[in-house]
Amino acid sequence: MWTRLAGLVVKESIQFLRDRVMLVLILWLYTVEVVICTLALSFEVTDMPLAAVDLDRTPASRALIEMFLVTDTFAPAGYAVTATDATKWLQTGRARIALVVPQGFERDLARGDAPSVQVLLDGTNSNVAAQARGYTLQIVSRFRPPPAEGGGPAAAIRPAVRVWYNPDQTYTAFMVLSMVTLAALMVGVIYPAASIVREKEAGTIEQLRVTPVGTGELFVAKTLPTLVMGLLSVFPSLLIVWWFGVPLRGSLSLFLGLTALFLISAIAIGVLIAAATRTLQQALLLSFFGLFPMMFLSGTVAPVESMPEGLQALSLASPLRHYLDITLGIFLKGTGLPELWPQAVALVAIGTPLFAIAAVLFRRRTA
């Protein structure tokens, strides 16, 4: 018995060492992916883009804005001319917080009045908004303006903080929408990868080679059902979103169209995985090898602004990051194509070459 067991162990070890894809995958999971996830998974809010609106243009107003920008929590997104411009920046995602200092701010401080400053927060990610609100209150409470005329202390500031798009600051809205995007990614990647590899294992692809069916037709037949199924799966997800009380403030047709663009990228990744693997086990493991980095770098787990600059740049290559911005924008902000066209262009730029490469590799592996 022990001889047979030793022979089986040697055989499995040799077979394992011959599987280069599995060796590279395991090495990646235990090294590079551990490093990426450790750096990316930070729940501290840092470098949150802040739009400043200085309607007073005095030393006191500039000092208050500077107190926000010298911290690691906020980063300058620019000076907006009016509060309306700042709200547009919140709408497009250029800024996550807007600080509006009203006209007469320094004068009211000198008189001993308590001036009010307006703070607008993007509440699509309630965890980030809650932390930013707490930091805002701390900064305002520490602000010490110069003494008022007559030698008396200047009045304190009254911050008027408003959280937009998710005023209750519930984490449910962000979580359910991010889970919908993750589900779309998993369906788009895993289903075509598993389907094609299963055909390889069963030998049916070899049988199809002797039929009049062309490689291009076979490629379409493998990818089109996944695209249709992914779009149809959106509707049960909409019921779940509605059940959680999350509003759809934007266009459903726009959401479906941009979902189709996103699924093209996901399906292309699935076909590439199928081209690089020979067994269903390899395909599933390699799928998760790609899914986890895309998930961590998309902003679903931790804010992208809190990541190192290198990972922020790398996250731009993840279609999930752009699709999450699209989903949050359409559902919570009611944004349309004029605001979401950069994300749409990014999905096209990512998905088109991926799909073309997938088609070429599929043709070579099945020809």
pLDDT of residue 150: 46
pLDDT of residue 51: 93
Task: Name the residue range of residue 113's domain.
Answer: 48-164
Global pTM reads 0.71
Report if residue 9 sits inside a domain: no
Domain count, the chain: 2
Sequence letter at residue 133? R
Last residue of a domain, one of 143, 164, 185: 164
Report if residue 295 sits inside a domain: yes
Alpha-carbon span 248 to 243, nearest angstrom? 12
pLDDT of residue 258: 94
Report if residue 234 sits inside a domain: yes
pLDDT of residue 190: 82
CA dihedral 241, 247, 250, 252 (to 10 degrees): 30
Whether residues 175 and 233 fall in one domain: yes
Terminal CA-to-CA distance of the chain, rounded, Å?
45
Last residue of a domain, one of 164, 198, 228: 164
pLDDT of residue 30: 47
Q: What's the CATH number where 93 sits?
A: 3.40.1710.10
pLDDT of residue 254: 94
Neighbours of 263 (CB within 10 A): 29
Q: Which residues of the chain have pLDDT under 50?
A: 8, 29-30, 34, 38, 148-152
Alpha-carbon span 257 to 255, nearest angstrom? 5
pLDDT of residue 107: 86
Residues whose CB falls within 8 Å of the CB of residue 365, separated by 6 or more in sequence, listed in order: 275
Residues whose CB falls within 8 Å of the CB of residue 87, separated by 6 or more in sequence, listed in order: 98, 120, 164
Report if residue 189 sits inside a domain: yes
Alpha-carbon span 190 to 274, nearest angstrom? 9
Last residue of a domain, one of 114, 142, 164: 164
